[in-house]
Structure 1
Amino acid sequence: MSGRHLLHLRFDVADGHDTELPERLRRLLEDVTPRVQMIEPDSAALDITGAIPYWKRDARGLAELVQLRVLAHFGLRSSAGCAPNRMLAAMACALIPPGQRTVVDDSPEAIAAFLRPRPVRELPGVGAKTATMLGEYGLDTVGDVVDVPQLTLQRLLGVRAGRALHEHAQGRDAQVVDPTPTPASISAEHRFVRDELNPAEHRRALLALADDLGARLRDAGQTASGLTCTIRYADQSSTRRSRALPEATQHTVLLARAAYAVYESLGLQRARVRGIALRADALRPAHRATRQLTLDTQDDKPLAIEAVADRARARYGHHVLRPAALAVRHQRDSRGRW
């Protein structure tokens, strides 16, 4: 292996946190290493290879130092995973609760010991449908996949996906920490009162988040070129999927369609969902965006209604008008009134 040490942090961020928090966290982390990549809404990747000799600590000690600094400065607990590459570090981080850390040593034996027992669904790029299909062939764990020839995986999944799965199962990942700030983005998150299994409630949450993002984009005169959906589960694991939009948009109906498509691609079945986050990516000024011409007038009515709703919201508040699917049905009282 290359002797690299990558650290993945996941912060226990509360709802409604300061929108400037990611940038403030970045500045704090850059005091430890200049190679910091923020991953909204609540994570960061650090390359601490060069920082280890400078701080005269091993990887575990430096991870603990970073966690203590984040806690002291911001009152945030964080989970930390350290490994020879970003994929392994992120997987290690996802397995532990806030305040703890896991280190995967830089040796083939340590990497194999960590990966082989893990469910195959924890590998990046393996969604619920792919995991189910692999399970039908007896490939339930990463170790099962390692023991299968790459050509077999390519026959099952296709050339590119099969090759990627083979590489990831071997613990190989070429991602680097890119300290270049990502294009501007805004995000919103919904946390359920209890772990939610009902897909209809998941979709309601996605619509509410798309409605919130759309209104904020229009208020700011911005459009989004991409959308990222993060699903957080009861076991503290999470799944994140991104999708480029066909065209930059600020309209709720188009953002909601993209969010539904990302959600459907996960193939969740009876998943115990704790929270959903939606992020509008690659923002740009609305006056620079172009709209593809179409003969389909299906969207004209909702966009016209949206414009009217925005004017009403500007005068009376954001929650005065909402999509009908988000309307809350009140219970009758003892005298039969709503």
Structure 2
Amino acid sequence: MPSLCRDCFWMADATRPPPCPACGSRRLVAHPALFTLSVAHVDCDAFYASVEKRDRPDLATRPVIIGGGRRGVVSAACYVARTRGVRSAMPMFKALAACPDAVVIKPDMAKYVAAARQVRDLMESLTPLVQPLSIDEAVLDLSGTEALHRAPPAATLARFAREVERQVGITVSIGLAPNRLLSKLAAERDKPRGFAVLGQEEARDWLATQPVTLLPGVGPALARRLEASGFTRLGQLALLDPRDAAKRFGEDGPGLAARARGEDNRRIDPAREAKSISAETTFDTDLRDLPALEAPLWRLCEKLGRRLSEKGLAAAGVVLKLKTAQFQTRTRNVRLPRPTKLPETLFAAAQPLLAKEATGSAFRLIGIGAQPLAPGDQADLPDLADPDAARRTARWAAVEKLRARFGADAIGSGRGLLPGGKPRRD
């Protein structure tokens, strides 16, 4: 059976129990298809927290939570904090109750983006077929790269993991499999600093015993629907033929049954575009009044406009997100007559949606998103019916130029001010 040492990259065609005969490492991986599989899922381990621990070695053994304020939510948690029950998206007050000695650090997105870019550059040195899934994970296809790297994909990936540790100072977990679904499931099996291999045939037997919630996309609502129909294990779903699956679960049924068997024919597409871009903030205290809610909404529209410009995209529609004091989420959306990336236009579209919701309810969070997206070159084109469009575009460009030179607070709008004239930090 093919074997690989993840530290010195010794390879052999016969299974050998640890330690490695070349370097003494116990980090050996063995699998019948180890040197033939080429689809990999790469996931940075506890990414935000790992970057912070990299920069602060004194936190190496401490529980670390990335988030802001007792009324915020957990953006990320290190593995020490996770053993205490802390999870991403958990309200901060619950996280601190579970782990009162945690070190809480506000997110530093600029630092995380820089680290993610380093990891992405290393991925793209392996293969052009890299599809980012989020800031800290991606799926890669290394088919046909053996001649380039003079090694099978498994060995190339092991070297990549070592380079991430050396150059970026964080660790990754890797799943190697015949398709995207199985590579993701494999990556989750051996975290952190893991390297797991999952072949097609063994996947069927393993999946058969797993709960339906193991599949990505099967959330609580779908899980309850499946359970009501008598399906609690993936093996039960896997037995459905396409016609029966469609009859029971609609047009998504056949795909659901196929995934339960470990089948996935999705291509790895480096050109896959983001489906939406958004920005949101959690308030220190609940807000009820429309004027009080409009100030952070305006600041978020500015942030959203900036993100759209950075990515060369425009908003063809706007989505307003609100979360009540009881943690109930409300979303409202509207299509725009023309794509835009101007904060004024985004705000003008979102403000009526907000006005309809601000009728006395207390809100703890507000967000604004662009969905669907449009190419940036279609944004804010000259319009005879709107002679001020060009002037608004020029004004926003001038504001951003001043901020780039003198700082984000160099210039602002009265819409974004708190009572007393202080700028709101969103």
1:269-308 Cα shifts (integer Å, max 9, x gaps): xxxxxxx9x89765514635699x9xxxxxxxxxxxxx9x
Q: 1:217 to 1:34 in 2, by over 3 A?
A: closer
| 1:48 Cα deviation from its structure 2 partner | 2.0
Identity across the alignment (%):
23
Q: 1:73 to 1:189 in 2, by over 3 A?
A: farther
Match for residue 330 of structure 1?
A: none
Contact 1:22 1:38 in 2 (8 A): no
Matched, 1:284 2:379: no
Q: 1:112 to 1:289 in 2, by over 3 A?
A: farther
1:48 corresponds to which of 130, 142, 148: 142
Matched, 1:216 2:311: no
Q: 1:222 to 1:58 in 2, by over 3 A?
A: closer
Higher relative contact order (CA 8 A, sep 6+): 1
CA distance in 1, matches of 2:195, 2:370: 27
Match for residue 269 of structure 2?
A: 178
Can you give the 5+ residue segments of structure 1 that lack an aligned partner in the other structure? Answer: 193-203, 229-242, 258-275, 294-306, 325-338
Match for residue 109 of structure 2?
A: 16
Q: What amino acid maps onto 1:176 in structure 2?
A: R
| 1:78 Cα deviation from its structure 2 partner | 1.5
| 1:316 Cα deviation from its structure 2 partner | 5.8
1:60-116 Cα shifts (integer Å, max 9, x gaps): x44322211122121232221111001111222244433212210x342x1113322
Q: What amino acid maps onto 1:85 in structure 2?
A: N
Q: How does 1:254-293 map to 2 (within 5 A)?
A: 284-285=376-377, 287-288=379-380
CA distance in 2, matches of 1:83, 1:282: 34
Matched, 1:97 2:191: yes
Matched, 1:86 2:177: no
Q: 1:72 to 1:136 in 2, by over 3 A?
A: same
| 1:161 Cα deviation from its structure 2 partner | 0.5
CA distance in 1, matches of 2:334, 2:165: 35
Q: Greater CA radius of gyration, 1 or 2?
A: 2
CA distance in 2, matches of 1:38, 1:50: 20
| 1:222 Cα deviation from its structure 2 partner | 5.3
Q: How many residues align?
A: 260
SS at match of 1:7: strand
TM-score by length of 2: 0.47
Match for residue 243 of structure 2?
A: 151
Q: What amino acid maps onto 2:137 in structure 1?
A: S
SS at match of 1:144: helix
Q: How does 1:1-338 map to 2 (within 5 A)?
A: 4-11=37-44, 12-13=47-48, 15-18=108-111, 19=113, 21-52=115-146, 54-57=149-152, 59=154, 61-104=155-198, 106-108=199-201, 110-158=202-250, 160-179=251-270, 181-183=271-273, 211=301, 213-217=303-307, 223-225=314-316, 248-250=339-341, 284-285=376-377, 287-288=379-380
Q: What amino acid maps onto 2:166 in structure 1?
A: A
Q: 1:58 to 1:33 in 2, by over 3 A?
A: closer
| 1:28 Cα deviation from its structure 2 partner | 1.7
